[in-house]
Amino acid sequence: MVSAGLGVAPADVLATGGAKQLGIGVGTMGWINGAIFTMIAIAFRRPPSWGTLVGGVLVGQTVNMVLPWMPEPRALILRVPMMLIGMSLLYVAISVGVATTLGTGPIELVMLGMNDKGVSMQVARWGIEAVIVAVGIALGGQIGVGTILFVLLTGPVLARTLPPMVRFMGTQVLTQPTGLDA
C-alpha cells in the first residue's frame, strides 16, 4: 500500500508522519507506535503475547528492508490492484494473527480490549482508525483513497472474518459479540 501511493493503512499514516517528523525509518516509527498501543492494550487488560512482540519487531524491520525494493508504478491501472492486494494481505494477516493468538498486533489487542468492554468490534475499530489517521495527518503522514477505504472497511471486515477464523482455530479471543448489528 505504501508503494502504490494511493493511501496507506491508518497505522502507516501515523508511521509515515511520525517518521517524517523524527527523521527515522517508517518501520522504526512502527515499533514506537506498537509500543504505545501495547501499553494501551495492557490498560485494557489485553497483554501482548510473545508473538505480538516478536511480530512487531519483525514487521518493522521487514518494512524498513522491503520498502526500498518495492516498485512504485506511475500508472493508476497498476497502483489500484497493488493497493487492493496490500489491503487484502493486511486483513488476512490480522485475522490469522488474532485467531491463532500467536501474534495479535497491538492495535488489534486494543480493539479486542474495547470489545471486552462492550464496544462492538466495528465501532471500536472505526474509532481507533479515526484517531490514528487524525494524528497521522497532523504529523504529515501519507494519506489517500486507500486510507479512507481501509478505515471504512476494516471494522466490518474483521467483525465478519474473525468469528469464523476463531472458531476454525479453536481459540477463545473474543469475549463479546462482534457487533455485526452496529
Per-residue pLDDT of 139-179, as tens digits, reads: 999 889 999 999 999 889 988 888 888 888 888 777 665 55
**How far is the CA of 145 from the CAs of 151, 153, 182, in angstroms?**
10, 12, 24
179, part of any domain: no
CB proximity list for 109: less than 8 A, separation 6 or greater: 37, 38, 41, 44, 46, 47, 48, 52
Kindly report the average pLDDT of the chain as a whole number.
Answer: 86
Host H or E run for residue 112: helix 106-116
- The per-type count for the chain, helices as H runs and strands as E runs, is 7, 0
pLDDT digits (tens, 9 = 90+) for 59-98: 777 777 887 888 788 888 998 998 898 888 888 888 888 8
According to the model, what pLDDT value does residue 68 have? Answer: 84
56, part of any domain: yes
Q: Report how many domains make up the chain.
A: 1
Cα–Cα dist 147/1, whole Å: 9
In this prediction, residues 23-30 reach a mean pLDDT of: 87
According to the model, what pLDDT value does residue 182 have? Answer: 39
| Domain enclosing residue 104, as ranges | 10-67+76-169
In this prediction, residues 108-125 reach a mean pLDDT of: 92
39, part of any domain: yes
In this prediction, residues 119-131 reach a mean pLDDT of: 92
41, part of any domain: yes
1, part of any domain: no
180, part of any domain: no
CB proximity list for 65: less than 8 A, separation 6 or greater: 27
2, part of any domain: no
Q: How many CB atoms lie within 10 A of CB 81?
A: 12
According to the model, what pLDDT value does residue 133 have? Answer: 96
Q: Which residue has the cell 524498513?
A: 64
Range of lowest pLDDT (12-21, 23-32, 119-128): 23-32
CB proximity list for 131: less than 8 A, separation 6 or greater: none
Q: All 3 cell numbers of residue 68? A: 526500498
Which of 172 and 10 is assigned the larger pLDDT? 10
